Amino acid sequence: MKIAIKFSTYLLILAVSLGLALVQCQSQTQDAEVLTPSEINLLKKDFQIKLSTALLKDKSLESHIKIDTFGISIFPRGAKNPEFVLSWQDLPTYRAFLKKYPLLAMQQYPQKTADTAQMKDSLAQDFPVVQPHNSMPLQGFRIALDPGHFAEDFKTAVMEGKYISMDLADGTKIRFFESELAWLTSRILADELQKLGADVLLSRDDYKYTAFNESYMDWYERFIQTQKEAGNAAAKLSPQQAFFQHFRKIEFEKRAEKMNRFRPHLSLVIHYNVDANNTNWNKPTPHNNSMTFAGGGYMKGELDKPEDRFHLVRFLLGQDLENSVLLGKTILQSLEDSLQIKPITEPNKQFFLKDYCLPSTAQGVYHRNLTLARKLLGTMTYLEPLYQDNIQEVRYLQARNFEYKGKKIPQRVYEVAQAYKAGILQYLGQ
């Protein structure tokens, strides 16, 4: 079983092998902040509160972590010996390390040997300094956007299960799909942010594309051919079976990889919601609310992998969770101000908020262990701005009543993108 060496020693190893100034960072941090016994006691209480209110939805997961007078220890399930140990006096250094080199910290957890092949790419990147001014208030900021889903047409959207199809009482036929809405919103938002000086990354290059920069069916054909050549039973999978059994997981990982390597100041995962109580979404609902998700809310079995336990450590010790909640809160307020869509107030109205989430300190923002809410490093928010099946929204989202770059699109997605822009500006202004 791996036991962590003292983290100050670990930093020295990294500094020597990579020629980085981590030792200087460590020295400065330790000189500036040596924890007193009273400070340690406060931290212990704060961490325990954070674990119970934001991180651990299932109490059985408490066995993965021990907080005592020495420091913090992390355990695999059922293990007697910890895989990661951090003393209180090394905590300030590790926090600084997590903040400055999150990719490196993730790659190295829980191993304590330097892997220069993996680390150089994430550490050698040089980015412009943030220098906002009146005409370009986002100059130097890096913002990553993830347009949810990938369906290139209605048929693929049906396979994903992310579409709206209904006939209204007046005979109006409603038919649209979330992937296109999310893409259009993200593309408009990217254009708006770039005008203000931001460097923007989209996790996929077109609404027809997956994160692999090809359509799902192109990926599927390559996948089936590879499986045939290898003589694997997976060669007989249908497109829908391959999607759920293989593609969905690796595509989430690809999105997270692309966005994390960009080292964004902010990441937005952009979706549109539905009323979970409106079975099959083939009739309109009178309800309409917004919500957003941050990381945390781990359920039983969700800390079985070392990477998952690293993110637990990251959320517990750093400020990613708190910053993500504030970002989500700010954007939800902007949606309410701009579109009069209120954040949801009663989690029982949507069963998954009660069953799979923990409420945050902000109305409408929930801790939920969604793949990207967990895997995206730094400040992020997973946006679900309205119910697509709402009686008014179905008409707004169906309409092609706004021209954007020569294409007719729903004005509603433009309005949502503008609300996101306003929220981002307000958050970064704070």
Closest residue by Cα to residue 423 from 343, 319, 315: 343
Specify whether the backbone of 312 is left (phi greater than 0), alpha (psi in -120 to 50) or beta.
alpha
* Residue 125: predicted pLDDT: 57
Closest residue by Cα to residue 213 from 172, 255, 181, 242: 255
* Residue 408: predicted pLDDT: 97
DSSP 154-219: HHHHHHHT-EEEEE-TTS-EEEEEHHHHHHHHHHHHHHHHHHTT-EEEESSSSTT--TTSS-HHHH
Angstrom distance (rounded) from CA 332 to CA 330: 6
* pLDDT per 10-residue tile (average), the chain, 430 residues: 45 41 40 79 96 97 96 96 94 90 90 47 60 85 96 92 95 96 98 97 91 94 96 95 95 96 96 94 96 98 97 97 98 98 91 96 98 97 98 97 96 98 94
Closest residue by Cα to residue 198 from 268, 144, 141: 141
* Residue 121: predicted pLDDT: 53
Peptide bond into 137 cis (omega under 30): no
* Residue 114: predicted pLDDT: 37
Determine the longest span between alpha carbons in the chain, in angstroms: 72
What domains are there in the chain, each with its CATH number? 7-115 (no CATH), 142-429 (3.40.630.40)
- How many H helices and E strands in the chain? 17, 14
* Residue 430: predicted pLDDT: 76
